[in-house]
Structure 1
Amino acid sequence: MVKISNKQAYEKAVETLNEWAKAYYTDDAPIASDAEYDELYHALLEYESKNPSEISLFSPSHKIGGAVSEKFSKATHIKQMWSMEDIFDSYELKAWIARGDKSRFSFVVEPKFDGASLNLLYENGVLVRAITRGDGVTGEDVTQNARVIKSIPLKISYANRIEIRGEVVITKADFEAINADKISRGEPTLANPRNAAAGSLRQLDSSVTASRRLLFVPWGVGEHELGFEKHSQIIQFVKSLGFYYDEFFKICLNESEILSAYSELLKQRDDKPISMDGMVVRVDELSGCDELGYTVKFPKFMVAYKFPAQEQTTRLIDVALQVGRSGVVTPVGVLDEVVIDGARVKSVTLHNFDEISRLGVQKGDYVGVIRSGDVIPKITSVYEARRDGTQTKISRPTHCPECGSHLLDEGVYIKCQNLNCKARVLNSIIYYCSKKCLNIDGLGEAIVTSLYENGLIKRVYDIYFLDEASLLGLDGFKDKKVANLLNAINNSKGCELWRFINGLGCEHIGEVAAKKIASSFGQNWIDVSYDDVASLDGFGTEMANSLIDFLQVNRVEILDLIDIVKPVAKKTEIKQSVFSGKTVVITGTLSKSRDEFKAELESMGAKISSSVSKKTDFVLAGNEAGSKLEKANELGVRVIDESEYNKLAEILIDKKEQESLF
């Protein structure tokens, strides 16, 4: 029986156990039996229980977890983390290589694993912080959870500061084992490996994270003081520090070699232990990466070459009906469960009943289903030849599945008009509180549902009458959480008018339309006529009818809400300029984000379009403008660069002068 009698023997045991764990979890080449590991590990635990002041920061006992956080704090990456541009075929690969003449460089290709991005900061060889990708600049500090992931070293043999970036994943086998265990205990199963990894990383109880068998796969670095000239050298160095790595890692010299590597990796897709959704291609030379730089969203020196969507055949068992916040009834296909790219797929979107007619699908049909990345699974084909007489046609519903009231059938859309329908109420409150509307932090879907089920809210109006006494009586609501929620609700008062209008959830009136209504009518928006709305640029009969009907039906409730929220109409002063009344398309990489240029142009009376046509007046083109620039030249549309734009923007003129310029 193993005994640890002194500190020197204890430190040796820590070193040995970490070496064995690395061999087992990272190298997949065990150098000790489970029994051997367990015997030494329990001896270590016994020594630590008797000598708590001597517990090493690097002890494997820290990998058990058990600490519980109330909420994750925000943390900032030293160097920004970026998303990647996606390409889907050899033509797009060729075009990507041509942009910036990347054929001058060599390329690194490696698997793109489907998980959650994580940034690990080491200082003096010690893991000091782990941050989720977040928005690329700021993420959530999940250090406590990262410490319990067995493939993340707590200590590395490199003393300088370094950010090591990678993907937190769950292997296919471990995912199946976790779900099998959940099924045996009667618990809901996890949706797919990617969501399972992201959710496990963000558990408030680190012991749950520790139980989920997470694996960290490095793919790059952020802040560092390494003197290498190539990305491939950096990755080899990171691997040498004790991190897990996949054997597929190639240096390619040209497009042909990249395509060959893609074909090779695609054949390995089903055999890989971790779900892949594509292949990463990046310039190997770091000087080349610096030269190519970044767009607003993506590095120009790397790209995700995505695999084709995987298709599986299964059976459409039934069609369920979902009622949205505006009352639209959406059909959802219920499938005989099928696994596609590691995800358990039980349902597919059917969009609307016109789509069902177009597909010609019936209940009981065998169908082809695809799922690609985050895309909602959908039916791609119906195998009519396999019908056996048990199939039944899918009928258009006449009554609401939630409240039973008669449905309004408008052709493409079928709607429940009962404002007191539970499904409409819940979804409308959730939407009202969401980020693009009133942005009430803490009032997400689960909390809103809980408040509704407990009778504390029955409509949006009730949110503003929640109090401390009623909330503290609910499970999971403590003083700090209640105070934060009530503060967020109070802060939503005095919001911008467009947010309020958008939050009401009127059919066909989204964020852009809400901004137009708010800027055009201000506080008088609720008294507008059909003609007023229909005359707005970009509004048609459908949008005008929808808004006017909505205002008439819900006027009393809207006025009550306005009285509490008191939304503010911020009138934007429109300067008369060269761009007033003109349609502008923005394309390419510019010195500021497109949103900034859009705001500037709109303040000068311009209309911003996403596509070039004969009605386009200007195309503001930056670097690598691409197809929109080609279309503009083809149609004879005036193209201006940023320098010319700045000169034109300074010219403030009256309408007659403007007309004389064109």
Structure 2
Amino acid sequence: MKITQDNYGQMIEKLNKMAYAYYVLDDPIATDEEYDSLYHQIKDFESLYPHLILPSSPTQRVGDTPLEEFEKNEHLQRMWSLDDVFNSEELLEWVERIYKLYPQATFTCSPKFDGASLNLLYENGILKSATTRGDGRAGELVTQNAKTIKSIPLQIPSQDQIEIRGEVLITKENFKVINQERLENGENLFANPRNAAAGSLRQLNSAITSKRNLIFVPWGVGEHHSKLSSFSALLSEIFSFGFFTPPFIKHCKNIDEIKEAYTHILENRDSYPMMLDGMVIMVDEFSLQKALGFTIKSPRFACAYKFPAVEKSSKILSVTLQVGRSGVVTPVAELEGVEIEGATITRATLHNFSEIEKKDIRIGDEVIIIRSGDVIPKIIKPIKEVRNGSERVIIKPTHCPICQSELLIEEKFIKCQNLTCEARKIESLRHFVSKKALNIDGLGGKIIQQLYEQKLISNLEDIFSLTFEKLFALEGWKEKKAQNTLDSVEACKGLELWRFINALGIEHIGEGASKKLQESFGLEVFEKTYEEIIALDGFGGEMAKSLADFSRVNAQQIQTLLHILRPTATQKNISTDSLFLGKSIVLTGTMSEDRESIKALLESLGAKVSSSVSKKTDFLFYGENAGSKLQKAQELGIKCLSEEEFKALIP
């Protein structure tokens, strides 16, 4: 049939039905030839009448020209992470917490697919944007790539603004095909389907994403204006819009039904075409979700009931040392390859040398390996019964395998303290300029990475050698950005000494310890001996040894930085008549000011701000959405004040 202005809309609808049956239902209603013929007819018509192109046309799934980089995009409603439960006891505890407040609650249970989270925003029925999870508040804008995923409708029959959230997946079978192609092309292999999905979604060239046959499965919503009262009803409506429907979803009225649903999914996990790592449990009633609210990092009305980790055995061939960005040296076992959940495992962490000694793990041992979802494989224990005498003891290192400097050796951790070690330079640089350190505006993590890759900075002191010409020449830098960054670098000179101490990233020496060191030793802090440091109130042996070793290993660089920054070591003026003098205070919940400003105010009044509630806590100050800390403080009889109440007490 010829495409005309009169039947164009009908033909679009017909083609979309063909695509939905093929890509989502896996039940074709037309041959490939019929689909291709209609597709090209529509495409030819749209080339003649581009002003008539409908946003729902399948031709709009083809990406534009490759992007140079992804833009950042904020979610309308935060994408929260789920708390995990790992066994029936933890599940019972989680459910009973909800029943204690709302005994009428019911739950929706669905498979937890192991992929890359994506947030779709629809406005007036049209797909407006697609954004990765990112930090939960904002992610990368990948709309072009999302449009190539056939199971994401470009248009839905709902005019209300709605954020539809789900997981981008690759089937286990398709994962093998992609890795085989990469192997033949000499490319690095994806570790597992989750990595493959995430990597495919974040391609700057959407044509590559289009070839990966990604699947999008909805699991929740963000901002929405639905009149429906339950999550299960809204989810059913979303599936009716043309999205992929998971093979199993159950509305459960009690914990026994939740356990039955979990058992069903667990027993059938291998039959699913996509990787699963557990089951999502969601309070079904929206009114109860709202009442339960959120903790700082996760919703109280949902959790992930994780599958038991998969165990296999393999042989340790050798042990290599991996130096992390913070300088921690981690022993890694090189293994005989063993397949776990579709991925060939050849390496597994040994945690630390204390664990190795405690478990008596040796090179040549047959060991039990455990892996859960995308978690790094871990060695649980050696199978000592099969030893033949050829096994070798794993020797604890004394010098860094990268820079050869002497290592800081503690009971559990071994760490390279050398700030110039190649393995830890990036992390040292990032921490050095961070908010609680030098607090240099304009030098975030990605900017530090860019400057390092362009060889403009290598060591901490290089930050102070940056020039306008060097920054302005970089891709993405304009005059104002370059000048503002240089002004921020200059402004940090003369900062308080504690900030400089904290900026160095010394193991066990955080913000509180840095302030104590400034008050006690002033600018002579890096010349103090182990004995002088350990004599300080609150300083233990590990803290003293770490600072003394760090000062010795990095003596020359510390002096160079002190000469550049010229920090000040002024004493705090603490009000002696303050109500909070010497009091231990815990902050919880969301407040009108940022937490650091409130903490600084309280410390200026002589208070000690702690992160956890105990019998020694004198006050708890709380804001909105206060969580378990408030409940614990009330149970202990600690005086709890709202933000308005405690501010009223401050002169």
- What are the within-5 Å matches in structure 2 for residues 341-360 of structure 1? 341-360=341-360
- What are the within-5 Å matches in structure 2 for residues 159-308 of structure 1? 159-308=159-308
Q: 1:494: which partner in 2?
A: 491
Letter in 1 for 2:475: K
Q: 1:607: which partner in 2?
A: 608
Query: How big is each residue's C-alpha offset from its partner over 1:251-305, in whole Å with a ceiling of 9 and x where there is no partner?
Result: 1111111122112212122222222222222222222223333333333322222
For 1:649 and 1:435, the matched residues in 2 are separated by 25
Letter in 2 for 1:185: N
Q: State the shift of 1:179 in Å.
A: 1.6
Q: 1:59: which partner in 2?
A: 57
Q: State the shift of 1:219 in Å.
A: 1.9
- After superposing the two structures, state which structure 1 stretch, 611-620 or 354-363, moved more: 611-620
- After superposing the two structures, state which structure 1 stretch, 148-157 or 440-449, moved more: 440-449
Q: Is the 8 A contact 1:430 1:448 kept in 2?
A: no
For 2:53 and 2:207, the matched residues in 1 are separated by 19
For 2:491 and 2:23, the matched residues in 1 are separated by 54
Q: Equivalent residue of 1:270, what SS?
A: helix
For 2:158 and 2:143, the matched residues in 1 are separated by 19
Q: Is the 8 A contact 1:340 1:371 kept in 2?
A: yes
Query: How big is each residue's C-alpha offset from its partner over 1:413-456, in whole Å with a ceiling of 9 and x where there is no partner?
Result: 5566766554355664465467775672365786466445xxx5
Q: Is the 8 A contact 1:20 1:30 kept in 2?
A: yes
Q: 1:37: which partner in 2?
A: 35
- After superposing the two structures, state which structure 1 stretch, 92-101 or 622-631, moved more: 622-631
Q: 1:657: which partner in 2?
A: none
- What are the within-5 Å matches in structure 2 for residues 218-617 of structure 1? 218-324=218-324, 328-373=328-373, 375-398=375-398, 400-404=400-404, 412-414=412-414, 421-425=421-425, 428-429=428-429, 432=432, 440-441=443-444, 443=446, 447=450, 450-451=453-454, 457-466=457-466, 478=475, 480=477, 488=485, 491-495=488-492, 500-514=500-514, 517=517, 533-534=533-534, 537-564=537-564, 574-575=574-575, 576-585=577-586, 595=595, 601-611=602-612, 615-617=616-618
- Aligned Cα root-mean-square deviation (Å): 4.0
Query: How big is each residue's C-alpha offset from its partner over 1:360-400, in whole Å with a ceiling of 9 and x where there is no partner?
Result: 11223222222335643211121122334553332233554
For 1:419 and 1:526, the matched residues in 2 are separated by 15
Letter in 2 for 1:367: V
Q: Equivalent residue of 2:270, what SS?
A: coil
Change (3 A) 1:442 1:604: closer
Q: Is the 8 A contact 2:418 2:553 kept in 1?
A: no
Letter in 2 for 1:98: E
Change (3 A) 1:79 1:387: same
Q: State the shift of 1:32 in Å.
A: 2.3
For 1:369 and 1:559, the matched residues in 2 are separated by 47
- After superposing the two structures, state which structure 1 stretch, 157-166 or 549-558, moved more: 549-558
For 2:84 and 2:139, the matched residues in 1 are separated by 23
Q: 2:640: which partner in 1?
A: 641
Q: Equivalent residue of 2:395, what SS?
A: coil
Q: State the shift of 1:208 in Å.
A: 2.6
Q: 1:660: which partner in 2?
A: none
Q: Equivalent residue of 2:269, what SS?
A: coil
- After superposing the two structures, state which structure 1 stretch, 362-371 or 425-434, moved more: 425-434
For 1:49 and 1:566, the matched residues in 2 are separated by 66
Q: Is the 8 A contact 1:4 1:10 kept in 2?
A: no
Change (3 A) 1:66 1:109: same
Change (3 A) 1:387 1:580: same
Q: Is the 8 A contact 2:70 2:140 kept in 1?
A: yes
Letter in 1 for 2:59: S
Q: State the shift of 1:50 in Å.
A: 6.4
For 1:626 and 1:458, the matched residues in 2 are separated by 43
Change (3 A) 1:304 1:212: same
Q: Is the 8 A contact 1:165 1:219 kept in 2?
A: yes
TM-score normalised per structure 2: 0.84
Q: State the shift of 1:500 in Å.
A: 4.1
For 2:104 and 2:476, the matched residues in 1 are separated by 61
Q: Is the 8 A contact 2:112 2:277 kept in 1?
A: yes
For 2:547 and 2:593, the matched residues in 1 are separated by 32
Q: State the shift of 1:146 in Å.
A: 1.7
Letter in 1 for 2:491: G
Q: Is the 8 A contact 1:112 1:304 kept in 2?
A: yes
For 1:23 and 1:570, the matched residues in 2 are separated by 72
- Residues 1:140 and 2:137 aligned together: no
Q: Is the 8 A contact 2:621 2:646 kept in 1?
A: no
For 2:435 and 2:315, the matched residues in 1 are separated by 37
Q: Equivalent residue of 2:103, what SS?
A: helix
Change (3 A) 1:369 1:648: same
For 2:371 and 2:594, the matched residues in 1 are separated by 31
For 1:335 and 1:448, the matched residues in 2 are separated by 37
Q: State the shift of 1:567 in Å.
A: 6.4
- After superposing the two structures, state which structure 1 stretch, 376-385 or 510-519, moved more: 510-519
Change (3 A) 1:424 1:261: closer
Q: 2:76: which partner in 1?
A: 78
% identity of equivalent residues = 46
Q: Is the 8 A contact 2:120 2:164 kept in 1?
A: yes
Change (3 A) 1:417 1:88: closer
Q: Is the 8 A contact 2:365 2:391 kept in 1?
A: yes
- Residues 1:20 and 2:4 aligned together: no
Letter in 2 for 1:256: D
For 1:290 and 1:129, the matched residues in 2 are separated by 26
Q: State the shift of 1:248 in Å.
A: 1.0
For 2:444 and 2:83, the matched residues in 1 are separated by 30
TM-score normalised per structure 1: 0.83
For 2:594 and 2:472, the matched residues in 1 are separated by 45
Q: State the shift of 1:542 in Å.
A: 2.7
Letter in 1 for 2:639: I
Q: Equivalent residue of 2:606, what SS?
A: coil
Q: Is the 8 A contact 1:494 1:568 kept in 2?
A: no
Query: How big is each residue's C-alpha offset from its partner over 1:284-334, in whole Å with a ceiling of 9 and x where there is no partner?
Result: 222222333333333332222222222222222221112346755331122
Letter in 1 for 2:121: L
For 1:241 and 1:549, the matched residues in 2 are separated by 63
Q: Is the 8 A contact 2:471 2:477 kept in 1?
A: no
Q: State the shift of 1:408 in Å.
A: 6.8
Q: State the shift of 1:481 in Å.
A: 8.6
For 1:207 and 1:426, the matched residues in 2 are separated by 33
Q: Out of 50, 65, 68, which is 2:66 matched to?
A: 68
- After superposing the two structures, state which structure 1 stretch, 531-540 or 129-138, moved more: 531-540
Stretches of structure 2 lacking an aligned partner (at least 5 in a row): none
Q: Is the 8 A contact 1:4 1:44 kept in 2?
A: no
Q: State the shift of 1:73 in Å.
A: 2.7
For 1:173 and 1:570, the matched residues in 2 are separated by 64
Q: Is the 8 A contact 1:314 1:338 kept in 2?
A: yes
